[in-house]
Amino acid sequence: MGFFVALDAVQNNSIQGLNIVQIISDKTAALVNKSAGAERISRALADQEQAARAERERLSGEARTKLDAAQSAQQAMSRQIAEQQEHGQELTAQLASLKGTTAAVEEEFRQGKVALAAYETAQAAKRAAAQEQARQQAEAAAKAALAAAQKPAPAPPAVPGVPAPLLSRARRRSRRPSSSCLPCREAP
């Protein structure tokens, strides 16, 4: 519809018609610029997506390579452990034959050494835990003593019907040895 209005304005050669043509051309130019900007943004996003996809594929390849290397290292380690266990059993049998004992006795001795080491480790852990608990208890006791030292001294309990100063004088009298001397009884 805007196009036909513009044609009509050009044909009539009116200033208002030319202003309408100018407005329409300005809006069209703005739309063209906006679409060009959107196209640039779209192209940039597509390039970023392609770069991200390439990076993801590269990282995936690296991860596969590292996984394969880790799996082969794990298999090699498993083989090495099995070989060392076989060699250990062979050495235990040789040691038993040299000592004139059985391989079972030597194996029990080796297991006993391992159990002793585990026991000593557990005892060390228990001692460390007991020391830590004692430290925490001492710290808590120190905090409690500090808190108690910072609290004001409690006021003497009030006796109903007796003002506080008279109460303290009465207590002082009750602490003194009873005396038959008149001046001692009257002294506050």
How far apart are the C-alpha atoms of 186 and 172, rounded to whole Å?
12
Encoded amino acid at 60, one letter: S
pLDDT at site 31? 92
Mean pLDDT computed over 43-48: 92
More confident residue, 90 or 18: 90
pLDDT at site 158? 60
Each domain of the chain, given as residue ranges in start order, spans: 1-72
Asked if residue 99 lies in contact with residue 105, where contact means CB atoms within 8 angstroms, the answer is no
Encoded amino acid at 3, one letter: F
In this predicted structure, the answer to whether residue 169 has a pLDDT above a threshold of 60 is no
Helix count and strand count (H, E) for the chain: 5, 0
pTM: 0.33
CA neighbor of 109 nearest in space, from 92, 97, 121: 92
In this predicted structure, the answer to whether residue 157 has a pLDDT above a threshold of 70 is no
Mean pLDDT computed over 128-135: 90
How far apart are the C-alpha atoms of 2 and 25, rounded to whole Å?
10
